[in-house]
């Protein structure tokens, strides 16, 4: 199979800024963010949709950026990476509750949990599981992450 | 009220803010200018002769700088034994083994070109297990084993597939078993699996114009890497610089030498230009090393009342295709072969056997989680046969001060209080309320117990160092060779130094990245030794700096230096605190009003080297290889559905004697994380092989790890029997929490089903199968 190689110029709206970027049609959003725009918070953990380390928000919905081609992102869609989220409650509670150790899964988890809190601030355990089971953390045994989410929910009340 | 201000406090992590804002950089986040990219061609066969490799088309592909194969650099590397070519030489020995590499301008060019490489294989007979590899007529994986260089502590058996054989001979095991009133004997097994650190391994290598080799690597052991590169490629060791930023999870998988040797060859083939090689997930699981597999045979002998008198242990490890750390995992398992039990007569033969599986390296628990599975299952079998409660039989045999270890070394006054741990774990899991409860027609609740012990497996001369320098404002910079791998040791080290300086850990600046050119030498951030060894070094460096501060300050303060103390950012007379100086007036030399200056900057230095350790005797295992033993007890509660044998782990508890808890939250995090990995091993993690020994679940979609919401409720406790030679009395705790869990889960599920489950992972369909077989056998 021959990949389509032509470079195209696209506009991506990332963390509130519109950026012009030259990409190959086969470039994933994850690679474009990391390698073309220098936004390295989103991480490759599998590049196969299995681990969630690459999660970013597109129009407030968490999306695995390794599974999304950059050219597929709708013009004008708002992409938010962890770099675009500052001092949020969930970041605060991740610190307080040790929601991370090595930190590699953390950008994906935080972005996902941030979106969850926005859309369902009262999410119960079942709903939280539905959202967050798409991300893998190998360090924490999930205790710190679960506690951070709960504390954030309390603080948001 | 605690006597300490910083020790025992849950001070938050020094790397926290960066990590929650996406600012922590890992190796793969770096993109130096002029960077080239490499991609690997990996083997589709588990054991085959390489007939030919055609690279012509790949070389001509767009953007390609070079294509290399094993023939270009016919070397073998190794950690303990030089058996491993960075690219397969003449034959492949496991599925996923790298056979060629492409270097190109971009990563996708490199990957495209890899597809154009044509490799012709001729299949060879495969070795699918240690049993297979030990057969008299088994094919030899390493025909030239006798030519490999290896360290003295490894005992390979050329002409066989045994890469190492460790013997433990204590007392008269065979005779004692013959005399025993109760004997149990059984076999146990688990397959190889993977660490699945979320960050896959990566390396960026470059050769400077002066020949200096600079390598950024995802490593737990930058100094080991540097020394092995020097040894294997004959590069003066001072000309190699390893830069190791914090890593995205290690768990042992990044403790040996990994991609760095290949990385060096890549840049060499590209005229020294910087080349980046990043494993994709599949390569990280298959091409790079994982967790060792095992087949074990255990025979325990006891008196009628359940007191252990003998153990005969045959541990056959599935090392996979190359020795790497596996030869030391099998060795560590021999050294601690009995688990934390007092057994006067022990024979153990621990064999590290080559197979055609992906090769094994260090893994959290290093030999101890492996040995604990057969031992803890056996203890339950013994309890059953003796008609004694499983907790009681553990209590009765738990090791204590004055007993001897399998290597016949005395458990000294630093031995933790294992009985107290057992008591607390039993309480946390409500053992006295029953370990088997039928909830309803379909559901059973069962509990299982597992003890643990662990000592660091490291060379007897392992050391650590620390340097303290000062900023103009009197704050400190602490330099060590310890890697931040998620465990938070650096935060703990900052607390240790802060305690000594009577200051807050915020005033201790930590050098997060390790650069082997500037950091003091350190063996490896492994073996749960960092806080103990680097902690000792840091304390010595702190004391050295304080001495210098007092000496300098004593001159203008006109007093004996020994009357001065340092606290709260000042140096002052202990009995007249108003007489003193702020540290910033002293740490860069004291300057008089007229400009005269004295003494100069303070540089604190400290080191620590393991004390009174030795290797072990090759015939008997006698020796003193263990720095310290962390002891503990763990238990789980599971709920099993009798319809389909699916189960949930409802609760996991752990109590271990860690000497001193420096940072309670971080300590808890380590134990909880380790337990979750133990659950993974017991519940679902294991490579599945087809008949050609290809791994069929080498991606995270099929290889199931624990997910959010599947975790149990954790209950964690610590006992603090001080380690006399540990800083503030502490001992290691980072790996330990994994060790007792697989055995505890298998014990609980065996209890729940009434069937011996002597293997992990325990998938519901396998449990169903075991139950069916057992009932079939019963009916015969
Ligand atoms: S990297 Fe996207 S899901 Fe793993
Ligand atoms: S913090 Fe390491 S993988 Fe989650």
What CATH number is given to the structural domain containing A73? 3.10.20.30
- Cα distance between residue B750 and residue B763, in whole Å: 13
Instruction: Tell me the C-alpha to C-alpha distance, in Å, between residue B716 and each of A25, B417, B424, B635, B669.
Output: 50, 16, 10, 11, 10
Please tell me the number of the ligand nearest to residue B484's CA. 2
A123 and A60 belong to one structural domain:
no
Range of the domain at A11: 2-82
Residues 6+ apart with CB under 8 A from B453: B336, B339, B340, B368, B399, B418, B629, B630, B631, B632, B739
A97 and A33 belong to one structural domain:
no
A48 and A35 Cβ atoms separated by less than 8 Å: no
A77 and A102 belong to one structural domain:
no
B418 and B600 Cβ atoms separated by less than 8 Å: no
Strand partners, A20: A11
Task: Tokens for B54, please give them.
Answer: 């055609």
Q: Name the stretches of chain A with pLDDT < 70.
A: 1-5
What's the mean pLDDT in B607-631? Answer: 92
Could you tell me how many CB contacts below 8 A there are between chain A and chain B? 168
Residue of chain B whose Cα is closest to the Cα of A87: B21
Strand partners, B465: B607
Q: What is the 3-state secondary structure (H, E, C) of A73-109?
A: CCCCCEEECHHHCCCCHHHHHHHHHCCCCCCCCHHHH
- CATH topology classification for B31-124+201-278: Aldehyde Oxidoreductase; domain 3 (3.90.1170)
Closest CA to A102 of B475, B26, B320: B26
B361 and B325 Cβ atoms separated by less than 8 Å: yes
Q: Is ipTM over 0.90? A: yes
- Interchain proximity A135–B675, CB inside 8 Å: no
B454 and B634 Cβ atoms separated by less than 8 Å: no
Strand partners, B290: B360
| Residue B780 pLDDT class (50, 70, 90 cuts) | very low
What is the tens place of the pLDDT at every residue in B246-262?
A: 999 999 999 999 999 99
- Interchain proximity A135–B708, CB inside 8 Å: yes
B183 and B351 Cβ atoms separated by less than 8 Å: no
Could you say which of A62, A82, A102 is where a domain stops?
Answer: A82
| Residue B585 pLDDT class (50, 70, 90 cuts) | very high
Residues 6+ apart with CB under 8 A from B506: none
Query: Number of folded domains in chain A?
Result: 2
Report the percentage of chain B scoring pLDDT > 70: 99
What is the tens place of the pLDDT at every residue in B131-142?
A: 999 999 999 999
A32 and A71 belong to one structural domain:
yes
- The answer to whether the CB of A102 is under 6 A from ligand 1 is no
Domain with CATH 3.90.1170.50 in chain B: 31-124+201-278
Name the minimum distance, in Å, from the CA of A157 to any CA of chain B. Answer: 22
Cis? peptide before A106, omega within 30° of 0: no
Task: Please tell me the predicted confidence (pLDDT) of residue A3.
Answer: 54
Domain with CATH 3.30.365.10 in chain B: 16-23+462-609, 293-458+614-779
| Residue B3 pLDDT class (50, 70, 90 cuts) | confident
What is the tens place of the pLDDT at every residue in B51-81?
A: 999 999 999 999 999 999 999 999 999 999 9
Ligand 1 atom at shortest distance from the alpha carbon of A134:
3
Contacts 24+ apart (CB under 8 A), B574-582: B580/B553, B581/B553, B581/B556, B581/B557, B582/B474
Task: Please tell me the predicted confidence (pLDDT) of residue B468.
Answer: 97
Per-residue DSSP letter, B486: S
Per-residue b or e along B661-678, where b marks 16 or more CB atoms closer than 10 Å to that residue's CB: bbbebbbbbbbbbbbbbb
Could you say which of A82, A100, A127 is where a domain stops?
Answer: A82
Centre of ligand 2 from the C-alpha of residue B765, in Å: 30
Name the minimum distance, in Å, from the CA of B110 to any CA of chain A. Answer: 14
Per-residue b or e along B168-207, where b marks 16 or more CB atoms closer than 10 Å to that residue's CB: bbbbebeebbeebebbbeeebbbbbbbbbbbbbbbbbbbb
B337 and B303 Cβ atoms separated by less than 8 Å: no
Give the dihedral sign, CA B244/B249/B255/B257. negative
A12 and A67 belong to one structural domain:
yes
A134 and A104 belong to one structural domain:
yes
pLDDT at B682 > cutoff 70: yes
- The answer to whether the CB of A103 is under 6 A from ligand 2 is yes
Per-residue b or e along B517-533, where b marks 16 or more CB atoms closer than 10 Å to that residue's CB: eebbebbbbbbbbbbbb
B523 and B463 Cβ atoms separated by less than 8 Å: yes
Phi, psi of B48 (to 5 degrees): -160, 150
Closest CA to B705 of B373, B251, B358: B251
A78 and A103 belong to one structural domain:
no
A98 and A148 belong to one structural domain:
yes
What is the tens place of the pLDDT at every residue in B187-213?
A: 999 999 999 999 999 999 999 999 999
Helix (H, G, I), strand (E, B) or coil at B282: helix
Ligand 2, atom 4: closest residue by C-alpha: A137
Does this model's pTM top 0.80? My answer is: yes
Task: Please tell me the predicted confidence (pLDDT) of residue B525.
Answer: 85
Closest CA to B199 of B16, B22, B15, B28: B28
What's the mean pLDDT in B316-330? Answer: 97
Could you say which of A82, A106, A139 is where a domain stops?
Answer: A82
Q: What share of chain B is helix, strand, coil (3-state, %, to 5)?
A: 30, 30, 45
Closest CA to B252 of B317, B293, B194: B194
pLDDT at B740 > cutoff 80: yes
A69 and A105 belong to one structural domain:
no
- Our CA dihedral for B322, B328, B330, B336, rounded to 10 degrees, sits at -170
What CATH number is given to the structural domain containing A106? 1.10.150.120
A76 and A144 belong to one structural domain:
no
- CATH topology classification for B293-458+614-779: Aldehyde Oxidoreductase; domain 4 (3.30.365)
- Cα distance between residue B248 and residue B699, in whole Å: 18
Question: What is the residue-averaged pLDDT of chain B?
Answer: 96
**Cβ atoms within 10 Å, residue B267:** 25
A67 and A112 belong to one structural domain:
no
| Listed range (A76-85, B89-98, B453-462) with the worst mean pLDDT | B453-462
Name the minimum distance, in Å, from the CA of B106 to any CA of chain A. Answer: 11
- Interchain proximity B714–A43, CB inside 8 Å: no
Higher pLDDT, B528 or A37: A37
**Domain spanning B16-23+462-609 has what CATH number?**
3.30.365.10
Do strands B647-657 and B508-510 pair parallel, antiparallel, or not at all (unpaired)? unpaired
Phi, psi of B471 (to 5 degrees): -95, 165
């Amino acid at each position: 199979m021959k990949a389509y190689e032509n470079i195209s110029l696209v506009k991506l709206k990332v963390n509130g800024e519109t950026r012009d970027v030259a990409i190959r049609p086969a470039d994933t959003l994850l690679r474009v963010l990391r390698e073309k725009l220098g936004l390295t918070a989103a991480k490759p953990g599998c590049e196969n949709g299995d681990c969630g380390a690459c999660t970013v928000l597109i129009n407030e919905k968490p999306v695995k950026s390794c599974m999304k081609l950059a050219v597929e992102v709708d013009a004008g869609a708002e992409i938010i990476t962890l770099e675009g989220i500052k001092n949020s409650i969930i970041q605060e509670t991740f610190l307080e509750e040790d929601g991370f150790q090595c930190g590699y899964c953390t950008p994906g988890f935080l972005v996902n949990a941030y979106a969850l809190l926005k859309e369902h601030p009262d999410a119960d355990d079942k709903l939280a599981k539905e959202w967050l089971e798409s991300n893998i953390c190998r360090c924490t045994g999930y205790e710190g992450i679960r506690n951070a989410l709960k504390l954030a929910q309390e603080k948001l009340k | 009220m605690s006597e300490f201000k910083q020790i025992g406090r849950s001070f938050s992590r020094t790397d926290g803010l960066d990590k929650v804002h996406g600012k922590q950089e890992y190796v793969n986040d770096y993109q130096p200018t002029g960077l080239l990219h490499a991609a690997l061609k990996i083997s589709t066969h588990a054991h085959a002769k390489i007939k030919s490799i055609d690279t012509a088309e790949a070389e001509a592909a767009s953007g390609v700088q070079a294509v290399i194969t094993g023939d270009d650099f016919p070397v073998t590397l190794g950690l303990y034994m030089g058996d491993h070519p960075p690219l397969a030489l003449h034959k492949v020995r496991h599925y996923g083994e790298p056979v060629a590499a492409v270097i190109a301008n971009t990563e996708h060019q490199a990957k495209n070109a890899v597809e154009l490489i044509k490799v012709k294989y001729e299949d060879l007979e495969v070795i699918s297990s240690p049993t297979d590899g030990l057969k008299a007529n088994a094919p030899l994986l390493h025909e030239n084993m006798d030519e490999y260089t290896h360290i003295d502590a490894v005992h390979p058996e050329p002409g066989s597939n045994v890469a190492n054989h460790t013997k433990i001979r204590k007392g008269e095991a065979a005779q004692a078993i013959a005399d025993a009133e109760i004997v149990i004997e059984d076999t146990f097994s688990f397959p190889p699996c993977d660490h699945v650190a979320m960050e896959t391994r990566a390396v960026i290598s470059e050769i400077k114009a002066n020949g200096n080799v600079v390598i950024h690597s995802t490593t737990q052991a930058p100094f080991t890497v540097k020394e092995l590169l020097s040894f294997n490629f004959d590069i003066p060791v001072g000309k190699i610089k390893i830069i190791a930023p914090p890593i995205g999870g290690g768990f042992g998988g990044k403790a040996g030498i990994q991609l760095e040797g290949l990385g060096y060859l890549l840049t060499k083939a590209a005229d020294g230009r910087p080349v980046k090689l990043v494993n994709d997930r599949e390569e990280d699981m298959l091409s790079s090393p994982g967790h060792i597999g095992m087949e074990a045979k255990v025979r325990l002998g006891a008196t009628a009342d359940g007191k252990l008198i003998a153990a005969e242990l045959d541990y056959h490890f599935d090392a996979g295709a190359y020795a790497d750390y596996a030869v030391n995992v099998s060795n560590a398992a021999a050294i601690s072969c009995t688990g934390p039990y007092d057994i006067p007569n022990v024979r153990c033969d621990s064999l590290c056997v080559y197979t055609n599986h992906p090769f094994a390296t260090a893994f959290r628990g290093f030999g101890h989680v492996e040995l604990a599975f057969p031992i803890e299952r056996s203890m339950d079998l013994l309890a059953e046969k003796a008609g004694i409660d499983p907790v009681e039989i553990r209590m009765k045999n738990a090791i204590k001060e004055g007993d001897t270890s399998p290597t016949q070394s005395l458990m000294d006054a630093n031995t933790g209080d294992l009985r107290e741990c057992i008591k607390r774990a039993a309480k946390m899991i409500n053992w006295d309320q029953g370990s088997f409860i039928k909830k309803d027609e379909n559901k059973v609740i069962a509990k299982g117990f597992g003890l643990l012990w662990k000592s660091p497996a490291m060379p007897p001369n392992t050391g650590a160092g620390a340097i303290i320098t000062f900023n103009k404002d009197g704050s400190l910079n602490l330099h060590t060779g310890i890697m931040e791998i998620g465990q938070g040791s650096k935060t703990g080290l900052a607390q240790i130094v802060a305690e000594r300086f009577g200051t807050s850990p915020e005033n201790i600046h930590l050098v997060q990245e390790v650069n082997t050119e500037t950091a003091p030498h350190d063996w490896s951030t492994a073996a749960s030794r960092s806080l103990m060894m680097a902690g000792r070094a840091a304390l010595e460096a702190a004391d050295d700096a304080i001495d210098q501060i007092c000496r300098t300050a004593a001159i203008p303060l006109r007093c004996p230096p020994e009357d001065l103390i340092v606290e709260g950012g000042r140096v002052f007379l202990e009995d007249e605190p108003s007489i003193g100086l702020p540290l910033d007036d002293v740490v860069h030399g004291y300057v008089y009003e007229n400009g005269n200056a004295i003494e100069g900057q303070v540089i604190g230095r400290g080191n620590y080297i393991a004390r009174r350790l030795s290797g072990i005797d090759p015939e008997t295992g006698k020796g003193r290889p263990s720095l310290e033993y962390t002891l503990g007890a763990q238990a789980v509660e599971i709920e099993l559905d009798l319809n389909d044998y699916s189960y949930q782990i409802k609760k996991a508890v752990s109590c271990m004697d860690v000497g001193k808890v420096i940072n309670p939250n971080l300590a808890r995090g380590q134990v909880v994380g380790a337990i979750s990995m133990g659950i993974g091993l017991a519940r679902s993690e294991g490579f599945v092989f087809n008949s050609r020994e290809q791994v069929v679940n080498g991606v995270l979609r099929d290889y199931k790890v624990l997910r959010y919401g599947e975790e149990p409720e954790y209950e964690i406790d610590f006992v603090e029997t001080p380690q006399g030679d540990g800083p503030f009395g502490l001992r290691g705790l980072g790996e330990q929490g994994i060790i007792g869990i697989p055995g505890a889960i298998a014990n609980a599920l065996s209890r729940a089903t009434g069937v011996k489950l002597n293997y992990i992972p325990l998938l519901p369909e396998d449990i169903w199968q075991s139950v069916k077989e057992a009932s079939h056998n019963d009916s015969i």
